[in-house]
Structure 1
């Protein structure tokens, strides 16, 4: 019991330290990056954002091939990973990244013809260089994740965000338009790569090893393919909007996606990045793993639901204040996407636990099973414009939640219904908060309306949880009180 208590204490300390730095990363960098893109959006308009949005799917698909599989394979094997493994993955990623870049380079005219936008040829050939740059840091990032070193990653991302953002602002002020976005993405990747290498101080010391490659590929190939399918499913919407609608419509949808994603990723990637190595370290202890898993679901819903549903309630004010009236068509799309994202954080944890226990084959099955549903939803929604597509995403997200929870339910006895039961207080409180705050329109300015909506929403949500006596919320309040007593 004493040894178990010490182990759990160490895990908790690692988790809290990692979470703190990962949270700092999201606060400083994602909000900073969001502020920069909002500034650019006010100056270059929806069409320029649409050009970049059209190419995003190609970058994400290639990165899912180059980055996802082998990186997570290294993390999953964290206790047995060797220098030979790291060196082998490094060489494979560079080769894959370079080959994919040249494939995309020569495909640029075809991509431009698909979207009927000749400008995309030059834009894509420069922007796709980010694939090679990011392939250089796959092993470095994996090693830092294994060590739960989010401090180095936060510092690297902060430096990259500040410098690339300053360059982008200078370019847009001097009339470079959409090129400011392209160079910001590229320079950020370069700077972040350099700083990460400086922190990690790792260089490949071994030659490529066939046995090591085969061992990692058995696990990583499933994740790679699953990542590719998941990325395709999640981004096919924007690709088809670009094909059948104007670049301006793509810009609106891209901006709505970015705003909802920043908030969702702020929650999901913080928890997922920290918890994956923790759950991996507990994969041999099923009882402890299930305990951590259940707590993660509860804490995630406690935090994510009010943030996403609250953001939907204030979306009009946020768009008017930050982007301006030119971007008002974003609002209905943003509301729908915020609702679609409410189940994404727990879906991510449900998928994460499959990776943590080494069942990437199930991860792949789950993602493949969702592809026909997404294609059907897209086919039915395309005639109804970007709002129709956004509401189709709401439907597919909720169905996907039940699909994602199927295997965890079967293996750990904690499926979709059980997860919804423990989240019922948060769902009810958030829904009530949304109903009340969305009615608030009595103030003369958008800033005043936003301020009071946030204040009213936060008051309603916390009051509801106090009345309902939610144990995680009460535990959080108790922890804050203890810390306050210590400092006072």
Structure 2
């Protein structure tokens, strides 16, 4: 099958996976938010940074290292990664288990000890899927991953809703995450049908760790950069404030991730397979940035325009303080997908050393912004995130700009039509009255889509012309 057809098929399944599972998971957490309130989400938000840090150490670098080697992965490579991860996963959980009382003391929330010791089981569970996910990704088999994730989402969501309705509070959210991870892991193993052998290769470990260790450390630093806001809110404020910020973060993240992560997940193994063909690689790189901005920019800014309506309808008045935070984080996320693509191409080229250097450069920026923002509450911290996101974008784009002649300013230049169309769309939507009704919200979304599409058509955008041609071709015979 030609590479283009493989990529389109893989993207279709990856997009379906994200659409069903990320948006489905979002719907469940929104429903749970109405039942269990901001405090429960705040408890989970306080622990998220520790879970993500452990996960970045255990699996962050090796999965990318295996995919980067693509067709050269051997059985020794796979077995070595599996057993190393198994050991690290157990060690990390043991450390977190022992540290749970100190984490609870740091936040002055005694109940976090019990929550942490259950929630951190996700770290061990995820270690078992690194190799099998890498194998399916290398084969561009996103269909199996989509099916496994969908089954896991449905069953874990049913369990969480039942627990919430029966008054288990934050435990519903804890078991949603643990059961989803466990079921997805079981499903991935079922489809991959790979069993590890009792092998350990020092040569494989050295080669994979040489690349993966830099990504692992970079992932560790990036996790601190991206989650330090929530951790410090939990320290200086209360669980309710953490809940508001966590829910706003989740909503803004889900919006862009189901498109951006689908594109990046599919194109990463493709870019690694053609990394020697510089012209073709750069062509895919530019198209990926253009397509990502086409979709993510209006989605995020459009959502910020209807954020108050959405919160009022789906979460209730108890969650209204999250609205200004959500608006700010939507603005911050507009450049996050492009930053991720810039980092992705460095991985594809095997430059994990530059990847690490970039993430280390962003850490002092985040710390400085937090220092000045903490006194201004969660809204101040959210707008500090906007500033750091845009600074991070130019840092992330610097090295790809030197390597391929396509830096931050050039990337913004190709997004100008999307920026113009998005600004016009937002201006119109912001003038419409707020009405807490699903029908009114759907009407605003429809108006926004029509305005955005019409402006792009008038500006002669290439993607809108391609989409229009596909529509005419599809309905020509009707």
Which TM-score applies when normalising by structure 2? 0.98
1:467 maps to what in 2? 458
Q: C-alpha deviations, 1:375-400, integer Å up to 9, x for none?
A: 00000000000000000000000111
2:291 maps to what in 1? 299
Tell me whether 1:458 sits opposite 2:445 in the alignment. no
1:254 maps to what in 2? 246
1:3 maps to what in 2? none
Contact 1:297 1:346 in 2 (8 A): yes
Tell me whether 1:478 sits opposite 2:469 in the alignment. yes
Equivalent residues in 2 for 1:130-149 (5 A)?
130-149=122-141
Q: CA deviation at 1:38?
A: 1.0
Contact 2:457 2:465 in 1 (8 A): yes
Contact 2:312 2:436 in 1 (8 A): no
Q: Work out which of the residue numbers 311, 332, 339 in structure 2 matches 1:319.
A: 311
Query: Partners of 1:411 and 1:418 in 2: how far apart?
Result: 13
- Computed over aligned residues only, the root mean square deviation of the Cα atoms, in angstroms, reads 1.1
* Unaligned 5+ runs, structure 1: 1-8
1:5 maps to what in 2? none
Q: Work out which of the residue numbers 223, 226, 229 in structure 2 matches 1:237.
A: 229
Q: CA deviation at 1:485?
A: 3.7
Query: Partners of 2:114 and 2:128 in 1: how far apart?
Result: 24
Equivalent residues in 2 for 1:12-411 (5 A)?
12-411=4-403
1:419 maps to what in 2? 411
**SS of residue matched to 1:77:** helix
Contact 1:83 1:206 in 2 (8 A): no
State which drifts further: 87-96 or 449-458. 449-458
Equivalent residues in 2 for 1:430-441 (5 A)?
430-441=422-433
Q: Which stretches of structure 1, 4 residues or longer, exceed 3 Å deviation after superposition?
A: 483-486
Query: Partners of 1:145 and 1:445 in 2: how far apart?
Result: 42
Q: CA deviation at 1:460?
A: 1.1
Q: C-alpha deviations, 1:1-44, integer Å up to 9, x for none?
A: xxxxxxxx812111111110011111111111111111111011
Query: Partners of 1:382 and 1:446 in 2: how far apart?
Result: 35
Q: CA deviation at 1:445?
A: 4.4
Distance 1:371 1:207, change over 3 A: same
Query: Partners of 2:407 and 2:471 in 1: how far apart?
Result: 32
Q: CA deviation at 1:456?
A: 1.7
1:4 maps to what in 2? none
Q: C-alpha deviations, 1:245-292, integer Å up to 9, x for none?
A: 000000000000000011121122111111101111110100100011
* Unaligned 5+ runs, structure 2: none
Query: Partners of 1:31 and 1:216 in 2: how far apart?
Result: 34
Contact 2:218 2:359 in 1 (8 A): yes
Contact 2:313 2:436 in 1 (8 A): no
Query: Partners of 1:439 and 1:447 in 2: how far apart?
Result: 18
Q: C-alpha deviations, 1:422-458, integer Å up to 9, x for none?
A: 100001110111111011007x543343122212211
**SS of residue matched to 1:118:** coil
Q: C-alpha deviations, 1:171-221, integer Å up to 9, x for none?
A: 111111111111111111111111111100001135111111001011000
Which TM-score applies when normalising by structure 1? 0.96
**SS of residue matched to 2:70:** coil
Query: Partners of 2:476 and 2:202 in 1: how far apart?
Result: 58
Q: C-alpha deviations, 1:347-372, integer Å up to 9, x for none?
A: 11111000001001111111100000
Query: Partners of 1:149 and 1:388 in 2: how far apart?
Result: 43
Q: CA deviation at 1:49?
A: 0.6
**SS of residue matched to 2:28:** helix
